[in-house]
Structure 1
Amino acid sequence: MGKITGFLEFDRIEEGHTPVAERVTNYKEFVIGLTEDQARQQGARCMDCGTPFCSSGCPVNNIIPDFNDLVYRNDWKNAFTVLDSTNNFPEFTGRICPAPCEAACVLNINSDPVGIKSIEHAIIDRAWAEGWVVPRPAARKTGKAVAVVGSGPSGLAAAQQLARAGHAVTVFEKNDRIGGLLRYGIPDFKLDKSHIDKRVAQMQGEGVVFRTGVLVGGLPGEGPGAKVTNLSRETVSAAQLMQEFDAVVLAGGAEHSRDLPVPGRELDGIHFAMEMLPQQNRANAGDKVQEAISAKGKHVIVIGGGDTGSDCVGTSNRHGALSVMQFEVMPMPPEHENGPLTWPYWPIKLRTSSSHEEGVQREFAIATKTFVGDGKGGKTGKVKALRTVQVQLQDGKFNEVPGTEKEWPADLVLLAMGFTNPVASVLEAFGVAKDARGNAKATTDLKGCYTTNVNKVFAAGDMRRGQSLVVWAIREGRQAARAVDEFLMGSSDLPR
C-alpha cells in the first residue's frame, strides 16, 4: 500500500495549529489540516505490512490501508467511499478521536506511525467540500418503526443505519439541540457544531425524524453532574414508546459525573466539568446562560487528568483565568512508551494536549484532602484553597506520603474525574436490567447481540459499555442497528 519505500523516505507530518495567542481569544477550531500534497505523502508512508493491525486497532475497523493508498494515488472520491463504508461520521473521529489505529500501526514499533487521523480528516473535509456527502434514503420501506433514545454518536449511527435499511426512525433527545455529548460535552474549539448540523440535515434527507426537548422516562438532572442543559418541554413514557414502536434503542450517554466527597465539597465555586462545558457551548450558540460559571480572573484548579480535564483547561484559558492547574491522582507516566513492549495496544505515556500547550501547571500523584472556604457564611462560603497530599500507588492502593501536605489557592474548582454510568431512571422506566456498574446489561455476542432483558429493547454506546470514546459509540450504534434489523426482518444486510 502507498509507495513501497515511502516509510523510508518520508517523515510523519503533524497537522498545524493556529498560534496559542490567537486561538485562546475565541472558541473556533484551530487545527490546520494537511494540504493535498501532505496527505498524499502521509498516505505514501503506509507499509505493505501484510496484516493491517491499524484496522483491528480501530473500533469501527476502518479499511485504513486502502484509503491511505487511494489518497496517495490522488483518488479522493474512492478514498471517501472506503472510509464512508465503515464510519458514519469521520468528521467527528477525524477531529476528536485519540487514534488507537495509529498506536497499532506497524510503523509505530520503531518509528512514527502513519498520520491516519490526519488523512481521515483530509478525506472527509474534501468530501464535504466536493458535495460527495449526500442523503442516501432507502429504496424500499419496511413498514417497521424504531425509536432511538439519545442523539449522541451512538444514537446517530444507529439511526442512520436503520433508516438506510428502510425503517422509520425517530430520535428522541432531551436537550433542545441534537448531538448529545458531542453538542454539549466537547468544546467548540475541538469540534465546531456545524459538523453535527450538516449530518442532521443529511439524516433528515434519509427520513430520520428528530424530536428535541423530549425526556423519555425519569427526571432530568438525576445524579451528580447529570444536568439537562435545557429543561425538556415534553415527557414521553417508556410504555408509550413500547406501544408505538417495533423496537427501541437506548443510546444515551454516561452522564453521572464522579464526585469527590471530601470536607468542604459543599462550598460555592466547586463544580462538575459538565456544568461549565455545556454552558460555554450554549453561550457560543447564542443562548442566554443563567448564572454562568466563569474562570475570568480566577485561580482555577481542574481535578482529573483526562480529556474532560483538558477541555476544562482550554475553556478556562479562553475565559481569561489568572492561573490554571490540573491535578491527577495517578503517577506521572513516562514521556515515551516502550514500543516493542506495548505495540499494538494503547500505550500508557505522558500526553500533552493542545489545551495544555495553552498554559497549565500539571501535578501528578496528588490527592485532595480538603476544600478550604473563605469563612464567610459558614458552609455556604466560597472556596479559596485546596489542601492536598502526595500519594504513592502501591499494591493497587493510594498511600499518602508523610510530610507532603500543601495548600493551593483556588477560586474555581472543576471536577473532571470521569463518569460512572447513564441516568438510571431511563433504564428503570423500561425495566432494563443493569450490570454491576449501573449500565444497561446487554451482550455483544452474536446471539442476542445488544439485546436487553426486555423484549425489543436494545442498548448501545455509553448506555451499555459506560464512559468511552466517540469511535466506540459509533461502532456500537452500527452494530446495534444490525441487531435491530435482524430482530425486525429475520436477517440483515447491514454491516456488523
Structure 2
Amino acid sequence: MGKATGFLEFERLSEHYEAPTARLKHYKEFVFALTNDEAKVQGARCMDCGIPFCNNGCPVNNIIPDFNDLVYRDDWRNAIEVLHSTNNFPEFTGRICPAPCESACTLGINDDPVGIKSIEHAIIDRAWAEGWVAPQPATQRTGKKVAVVGSGPAGLATAQQLARAGHDVTVFEKSDRIGGLLRYGIPDFKLEKWLIDRRMRQMEAEGVVFKTSTFVGRDAPPALFGNPARESITPDQLREQFDVVVIAGGSETPRDLPVPGRELGGVHFAMEFLPQQNRVEAGDALPEQTRAAGKHVIVIGGGDTGSDCVGTSNRHGAESVVQFELLPRPPEQENKPLVWPYWPTKLRTSSSHDEGCERDWSVATKRFEGRNGKVEKLIAARVEWKDGKMQEVPDSEFELKADLVLLAMGFVAPMQAVLDAFGVEKDPRGNARAATDGDQAYATNVPGVFTAGDMRRGQSLVVWAIREGRQCAKAVDTFLMGESNLPK
C-alpha cells in the first residue's frame, strides 16, 4: 500500500490555509487542496499494515489503502472509481468530515496518521476538473416510484442510488433550496454551495426530480431557516402516489437552555443565526438579519456548530467572541494506547478558533440579564465533575458582557411533526425506530415507509448520513424488486 518505506521517509503534509487576516474578509473556502505531487507523497505514507483499521474507522467503509496506493502510483482515474464505489459525495466529506478514519490509522499509533481526508479532497477535485465525474443513468427503468423526504446527505445518497437502480425518484425539501443542513447549516467558508448544485445537476441527469418549498406532513411548523414552505403534501397523498417513501430529514430540534432571561432579545439558537448568512451569500435580501457586528458575542457549546458561530461572528466584525463548554477541558493529547483505533477525546482547535476567540470550559450558564427586552450580560459559574456528576464550585459566579448569545448545544431529535404525521414509531430519543439489518432493514412500522440518516440515528456526521442513505437504498431496492445489486 503506497511505498513500502514511505511512512519512514515522508512526514505528514497538511493542506494549506489562507491567512486569518485575509480569510476573515470573505465567506469563500480558504483551504487549498494538496497538489498532485503532494498528494502522491502523502499516499506513499500509507503502510502495508495487514489490517487496515482506517476502513472500519470510516463510516462509509472507504477502501482507503487502495486509493492511497493508486494516488501514489499516479493512477487518479482508478482512484476516483475506488472512492466513488463507497462514497457518493467525497467533495462533501473531503471538506467537512472530521476524519475518524485518520484516528484509526495504524501509523497514528506512534506517528502522525496518513492524511486520508486531504488525499480524498485532492482525488475528487481532480476528478471533477478532468471530467471524470459524469451522470450514471440506469440502462433500464423499473417503473417503481420512490419519494425521498429531505435533501440532506442521507436523502441525496438514497435518491442517487435508487435512481441508478432504475427507479423514478422524487426528492421533497421543505426549504427553498436543496441540501438540507449542508446548505443552511454549514457556513460557505467550510463548504461552498455550488458544490451541492453541481451534484444536483448530475442527479437530475440521472433522473432524480427535486421539489423544493414543499412540506410533507399535516401542519407545517415554523420554518427553521426562515423560509416557510409554499406547498404541502400529506403522508396519505405521498403513499398513494409512490410505491415507497423514505423519510431522511435532519435532526432539527435544537437543545434549549431554560434559564431565567432566555426570552430576552439577542439570545438565539445557532440555527437561527447561521442559515441567515448562508441565505445572504446565496443572494437573498434579509433586512432583519441577525448580525454580530460590533457586539460582544457569547457562543454556548464547544462543538462544530459553535465553532461555525465563532467564524461567522468574526466575519461579521464582532467586538469580542467567547465560547464556553459545560464539560471539562479535554487533554492536549489523547492516550493512544487506551483509545486507538477509536475517536479520541482531546482538545481540538478549529480554523475558526485560530481567527480569534476566547475559549473556556467547565462553565454553566445561570441566567441572562438585560434591559428593555435586550440581553446585556450572562451570569455563569464554574462547575466541577465528580463521579460523572456536575457540581457548581462555591463562590465561582461571574458575569460576561453579552449583546448576542448563540446556543450551539446540539440537537435532541428530528422534526416530530413529520414522524407523527406518518404514524412512525419512535425510540425514547424521538428518532424513527428502524433496524439496520435483517429483512426489515431501515423499514419503519408503517408499510412501505423507510427511514435513514439523522431521522433514524439522531444528530450525527455527514459521512454517517451518506452511509445510511446508501444502505437504506439497498433495502428499498430489495423491498421493491426482491433482490438488489446496489452496493452498501
For the aligned pair, the TM-score class normalised by the smaller chain equals over 0.9
Q: Any idea what SS the aligned residue of 1:420 has?
A: strand
Aligned residue in 1 for 2:439: 447
Aligned residue in 1 for 2:194: 194
The alpha-carbon deviation at position 396 of structure 1 amounts to 2.2
Change (3 A) 1:109 1:294: same
The one-letter code of the counterpart of 1:323 is S
Q: In structure 2, how many angstroms separate the alpha carbons of the residues matched to 1:395 and 1:5?
A: 46
Matched, 1:231 2:228: yes
Aligned residue in 1 for 2:331: 334
Q: Give yes or no for contact 1:432–1:453 (8 Å, CA) kept in 2.
A: yes
Q: How does 1:423-442 map to 2 (within 5 A)?
A: 423-442=415-434
Q: Give yes or no for contact 2:172–2:211 (8 Å, CA) kept in 1.
A: yes
Q: Alpha-carbon deviations, 1:243-300, whole Å to 9, x = none? A: 0000000000000000000000000000000001100000001101141100000000
The alpha-carbon deviation at position 220 of structure 1 amounts to 3.7
Aligned residue in 2 for 1:315: 312
The alpha-carbon deviation at position 340 of structure 1 amounts to 1.6
Aligned residue in 2 for 1:81: 81
Q: In structure 2, how many angstroms separate the alpha carbons of the residues matched to 1:64 and 1:386?
A: 47
Matched, 1:486 2:475: no
Matched, 1:358 2:355: yes
Q: Give yes or no for contact 1:328–1:363 (8 Å, CA) kept in 2.
A: yes
Aligned residue in 1 for 2:275: 278
Q: In structure 2, how many angstroms separate the alpha carbons of the residues matched to 1:348 and 1:424?
A: 31
Q: In structure 1, how many angstroms separate the alpha carbons of the residues matched to 2:282 and 2:322?
A: 28
What percentage of aligned pairs have identical amino acids?
Answer: 69
Aligned residue in 2 for 1:58: 58
Matched, 1:396 2:388: yes
The alpha-carbon deviation at position 301 of structure 1 amounts to 0.1
Aligned residue in 1 for 2:41: 41
Q: In structure 2, how many angstroms separate the alpha carbons of the residues matched to 1:30 and 1:283?
A: 19
The alpha-carbon deviation at position 221 of structure 1 amounts to 3.8
Aligned residue in 1 for 2:408: 416
Aligned residue in 2 for 1:256: 253
Matched, 1:213 2:213: yes
The one-letter code of the counterpart of 1:489 is M
Aligned residue in 2 for 1:304: 301
Q: Any idea what SS the aligned residue of 1:210 has?
A: strand
Aligned residue in 2 for 1:181: 181
Deviates more, 1:112-121 or 1:438-447: 438-447
Q: In structure 2, how many angstroms separate the alpha carbons of the residues matched to 1:411 and 1:218?
A: 38
The alpha-carbon deviation at position 304 of structure 1 amounts to 0.2
Matched, 1:347 2:339: no
Matched, 1:149 2:146: no
Q: Any idea what SS the aligned residue of 1:136 has?
A: coil
Q: How does 1:453-464 map to 2 (within 5 A)?
A: 453-464=445-456
Aligned residue in 2 for 1:27: 27
Q: Give yes or no for contact 2:218–2:233 (8 Å, CA) kept in 1.
A: no
Aligned residue in 2 for 1:14: 14
The one-letter code of the counterpart of 1:439 is N
Q: Any idea what SS the aligned residue of 2:411 has?
A: coil
The alpha-carbon deviation at position 489 of structure 1 amounts to 0.2
> Normalised by the size of structure 2, how large is the TM-score?
0.99
Q: In structure 2, how many angstroms separate the alpha carbons of the residues matched to 1:395 and 1:245?
A: 52
Q: In structure 2, how many angstroms separate the alpha carbons of the residues matched to 1:135 and 1:219?
A: 37
Structure 1 residue runs of 5 or longer lacking an equivalent are none
Q: Give yes or no for contact 2:225–2:275 (8 Å, CA) kept in 1.
A: no
Q: In structure 2, how many angstroms separate the alpha carbons of the residues matched to 1:185 and 1:84?
A: 25
The one-letter code of the counterpart of 2:204 is Q
Matched, 1:134 2:130: no
Matched, 1:243 2:240: yes
The alpha-carbon deviation at position 130 of structure 1 amounts to 0.3
Matched, 1:101 2:101: yes
Q: Any idea what SS the aligned residue of 2:210 has?
A: strand
Deviates more, 1:227-236 or 1:466-475: 227-236
Q: In structure 2, how many angstroms separate the alpha carbons of the residues matched to 1:30 and 1:221?
A: 36
Q: In structure 2, how many angstroms separate the alpha carbons of the residues matched to 1:410 and 1:480?
A: 45
Equivalent in 364, 368, 371 of residue 368 of structure 2: 371
Q: Give yes or no for contact 1:188–1:281 (8 Å, CA) kept in 2.
A: yes
Q: In structure 1, how many angstroms separate the alpha carbons of the residues matched to 2:220 and 2:351?
A: 33
Q: Give yes or no for contact 1:43–1:71 (8 Å, CA) kept in 2.
A: yes
Q: Alpha-carbon deviations, 1:54-83, whole Å to 9, x = none? A: 001000000000000000000000000000
Aligned residue in 1 for 2:116: 116
The one-letter code of the counterpart of 1:469 is L
Q: Alpha-carbon deviations, 1:423-480, whole Å to 9, x = none? A: 1110011110011000101111223100000001001000000000000000000000
Q: In structure 2, how many angstroms separate the alpha carbons of the residues matched to 1:8 and 1:221?
A: 57
Q: Give yes or no for contact 1:174–1:228 (8 Å, CA) kept in 2.
A: no
Deviates more, 1:234-243 or 1:389-398: 389-398
Runs of 4+ in 1 over 4 A off after TM superposition: none
Q: In structure 1, how many angstroms separate the alpha carbons of the residues matched to 2:104 and 2:219?
A: 42
Q: Give yes or no for contact 1:90–1:124 (8 Å, CA) kept in 2.
A: yes
Q: Give yes or no for contact 2:245–2:450 (8 Å, CA) kept in 1.
A: yes
Structure 2 residue runs of 5 or longer lacking an equivalent are none
